[in-house]
Structure 1
Amino acid sequence: MVNYSLSGMSAIQMRLHQLFCHFFYLEEQFQTLY
């Protein structure tokens, strides 16, 4: 039960990390445009 919840939390953290990386990547792309 505890291991399952921990793996779920890590999965959510990985998804948030991917979203943040994607957001910063887009921000860099927009900065290079202007």
Structure 2
Amino acid sequence: MGRAKHDCFYLEVQIFHTVLIWTRAAWPLKGIMKN
């Protein structure tokens, strides 16, 4: 049970980091598209 909970938390962290990276990567693209 504790193991499954840990895996779920790890997965959520991975998703959060991926979203954060994509958001940071998307900001310059948004600026380019505006100009």
TM-score by length of 2: 0.78
Q: CA RMSD in A?
A: 0.9
C-alpha distance in 2 between matches for 1:19 and 1:30: 18
Q: List aligned pairs for 1:1-34, cutoff 5 A.
A: 3-34=1-32
Q: State the number of aligned residues.
A: 32
Percent identity over paired residues: 0
C-alpha deviation, 1:33, in angstroms: 2.7
Superposition misfits of 4+ residues, deviation over 4 angstroms:
none
Unaligned runs of 5+ in 1: none
Unaligned runs of 5+ in 2: none
